[in-house]
Structure 1
Amino acid sequence: METTGCGQIQGAYIPQELLKEISKIGNRLLIGIPRERNKDERRLILTPEAVDMLTGCGHRVLVESGAGLGINYSDNHFSEAGAEIVSTAAEVFQADIILKVLPPLEAEVALMRPRTTLFSMIQLNLFTQEAYELMMAKRINAIAYELIADDHKKYPVLNVISEIEGTASITIASELLSNVQGGKGILLGGIPGVSPTEVVIVGAGNAGTVAARAALALGASVKVFDDDINKLRTIQQVLGQGLFTSTFHPNVLQNAFRSADVVIGAMRYINTRHRYVIAEELVRTMKKGALVIDLRINQGGCFETTCCLSPEEPTVFEQYGVLHYCKPNISNRVARTASMAFSNIFVPLLLFYGDAGSIQGLIKADSGFRSGVYMYCGKPVNSYVSNHFNLSSNSLDLYLSAF
């Protein structure tokens, strides 16, 4: 017998509420959220509110005890949202889908079951060869947050991190220029009768645009440099004619650095054809007591003086009389805001995942998600990532029909 509006199926009447519960359980996901082992990492991909939305749709979420403390959420908050609190990493890594922030450690990959689906950042400065090769051996499906695109060919996770870090960079600059932090004792901005602070921003993407807007709002004099004239045109249209913009003209760039109080490096290096690095000679010409903030330490650094720093080296140091701020993952300063932003992106994605029924179905249904896959059933499928590990990669299409 056909289904009716009251839920009549094969001669039986089933309440609509029960039908909803049946549909929820159809493609139930088992999601694991481990505690990050890096002592400086506070962010989490899902907040309790996000977990509540997923468990409300019938999905199971395992949360390792203490995972939410960095964003001021206790285990009780997650438990009340429907999550199952587990006490050890071994338990949480038994989930089918793992949601991490940082790339996995080799010990974490060892705990995963074969064919697990892993979501994480792809910060190559923290990703070890041993962990990557073990993922291959375990036939892991791996997705990089920074590479996931949306319907408009934008990168939502990368963009939201850039926006947060762009805003935070101006806050950091304001702190470090003050006497309290041992700076020159100048106000970031301007007041009547006093020359405004000069801020130079290298990179006119999301981070650069947000940083420029914040600095202009404080009254600073802002100059933005980029090699893409279209980006410069866009930022000029967004922020107005009071903003100085220029391509990488050597003389113009050198004059800007000589007078700058703050230089912010915000170039993007993920999946780009060219990599521009600010020469050490330019930093040497800066005023004593000036400040350099590198927002791209996770991608290798924007300046010759900050490139390829080892984890053991200080993240705040002085060179040529210029203070360098090179702390990775600046969004950890506002970890709760960052986690809420991540949740806004991943709840709809995970619900769509549940509807698709499998990772293969999701890849086929969503071209933007597809771009974030860098390993499929243990096979490298993204040249940006595999080249870093001196390995070859093949097209994802080659494996979709085979596995």
Structure 2
Amino acid sequence: MTEKKQLPEIKSLLLPKEEMLEIRRRGKKITIGIPSDFSKIEYRIPLTPEAVELMVSYGHEVYIETDAGKASSYSDEEYREAGAIVVDKHEEVFQCDVIIRVAPFSSEEVDLLRGHQTLISNMHLSTHCQETVQKLMKKKVTTIAYEYMENENKCLPVVRLMSQISGATSITLASEYLSNSRNGKGVLLGGVTGISPTELVILGARTAAEYAARAALGLGATVKIFDDNMFNLQELESKLGQRVFTSVLYPNVIRKALKSADVVLGAMSFNSNPSFRVSEEMVKSMKPGSVIIDLNISQGGCFETSKATDLKNPTYVKHGVIHYCVHNVASIVARTASIALSNVLTPIIIAIGESGGVQNYIKQSNGIRKGVYIYNGILTNKDLGDKLHIASKDIDLLLAIF
């Protein structure tokens, strides 16, 4: 590889025996690759320079593509100083044992893999195609999705953190697209003395909804929250510490709320049923110039009129309503999101090395096992299998074989 140093073997001879013993105790040495996601209009990076420095201290090698951290305000020099090996060629990163990124892997990138590796990234159920999955299976790789990974409390740590960021950021976006600066109708998101406050309707009552509601209430907006689970509604109201309008997803009640709404936020629970909850007829009834922000677009969206957009072309207008359907809203604040993601991934990567490799760690950790959707070339995620009409296997049964 282009910038790989030739000194590690010499340096190891100069280490005290106690230090060499400590390195051996730290488990299996792995090579970690971080490709650039910029071409995919994804600005987050999975590991910060501080995380890389820690990986290197455990004896691992980290290869990162040139300018991979630029959009998150991390320079190549910062990664070099942390001990990473910065490479110019895209394909070099794809030869590592473990490849970590934020965006899903494309069919062309799968062709670059040597096989029998581990890929960690977002899966994006709605965008996966049969060709890519079959190529991954043929390469005998193990793939782990952020969306399904659990921690010891059976929570989804990556989803929760990104939902917090997306929820708060969505209110900033809503305010921006209501203003004249984005050709909106020139409405202030919030409340001003003598003027009726703007209305925000939120579909969903989990993490993204909570952080969006907090931000909107702080500005003085009227917030109405809908969910199909009464416990979620009660829990959210308790967290907010104040009474807000809440309702089960009754069509007539939603229809009435949409007619007066200035902003509608799709924030249903992640990994729930991805079918839309708002029909095109309901969207037609909304006020001209109102804004829809669909945070569930990576799972198919909450609105019948939703279609995926990206950060370069984030919006379109349909039936007079501005639609914002970017799947990676957290990328707007890429540095904050990158630090949050790195905080989750760093202990996992270290644990993989300490346990003797990915296969051992998957057997030991039930939470990381939940994130595996291809194991040694065998599809293990039923949702993905059903979508692509590919037979899937129970990973717990497979672990008895491998």
- Give me the TM-score of the superposition, normalised by structure 1: 0.91
Structure 2 equivalent of residue 372 of structure 1: 371
The Cα shift of 1:127 comes to 2.6
**Aligned-partner Cα distance in 1 for 2:21–2:300:** 52
Query: SS at 2:396's partner residue?
Result: helix
Q: Which amino acid is the alignment partner of residue 125 of structure 2? A: L
Shifted more, 131-140 versus 120-129: the winner is 120-129
Structure 1 equivalent of residue 130 of structure 2: 129
Which stretches of structure 1, 4 residues or more, deviate above 6 A after TM superposition? none
Structure 1 equivalent of residue 62 of structure 2: 61
The Cα shift of 1:276 comes to 4.5
8 Å Cα contact 2:72-2:335 kept in structure 1: yes
Unmatched segments (≥5 aa) in structure 2: 1-15
**Aligned-partner Cα distance in 2 for 1:274–1:259:** 25
- State the superposition RMSD in angstroms: 1.8
**Aligned-partner Cα distance in 2 for 1:128–1:171:** 33
**Aligned-partner Cα distance in 1 for 2:332–2:144:** 25
Structure 1 equivalent of residue 30 of structure 2: 29
Q: Which amino acid is the alignment partner of residue 212 of structure 1? A: A
Query: SS at 1:103's partner residue?
Result: coil
**Aligned-partner Cα distance in 1 for 2:333–2:75:** 17
Q: List aligned pairs for 1:310-321, cutoff 5 A.
A: 315-321=314-320
Structure 1 equivalent of residue 180 of structure 2: 179
Structure 1 equivalent of residue 333 of structure 2: 334
Structure 2 equivalent of residue 170 of structure 1: 171
Query: SS at 1:54's partner residue?
Result: helix
Q: Which amino acid is the alignment partner of residue 149 of structure 1? A: E
**Aligned-partner Cα distance in 1 for 2:231–2:277:** 20
How many residue pairs align between the two structures? Answer: 386
**Aligned-partner Cα distance in 2 for 1:315–1:35:** 21
**Aligned-partner Cα distance in 1 for 2:240–2:353:** 41
Question: Structure 1 residues 37 and 113, CA, compared in 2 at 3 Å: closer, same or farther?
Answer: farther
Structure 2 equivalent of residue 10 of structure 1: none
Q: Say whether 1:390 aligns with 2:384.
A: no
Query: SS at 2:21's partner residue?
Result: helix
CA deviations over 1:184-220 (Å, ceiling 9, x no partner): 1111111221111111001111111110111001111
Structure 2 equivalent of residue 250 of structure 1: 251
8 Å Cα contact 2:205-2:269 kept in structure 1: no
Selected match of 2:21 from 19, 22, 38: 19
**Aligned-partner Cα distance in 1 for 2:335–2:20:** 36
8 Å Cα contact 1:79-1:85 kept in structure 2: yes
Query: SS at 1:318's partner residue?
Result: strand
8 Å Cα contact 1:105-1:128 kept in structure 2: no
Q: Which amino acid is the alignment partner of residue 360 of structure 1? A: Q
Question: Structure 1 residues 206 and 269, CA, compared in 2 at 3 Å: closer, same or farther?
Answer: closer
The percent of aligned pairs where both chains have the same amino acid is 44
The Cα shift of 1:327 comes to 2.2
Unmatched segments (≥5 aa) in structure 1: 1-13
**Aligned-partner Cα distance in 2 for 1:119–1:384:** 18
CA deviations over 1:73-104 (Å, ceiling 9, x no partner): 12111110000111212211110000021111
CA deviations over 1:266-301 (Å, ceiling 9, x no partner): 11352x357452111211111122111111111111
**Aligned-partner Cα distance in 2 for 1:21–1:115:** 25
Query: SS at 1:38's partner residue?
Result: helix
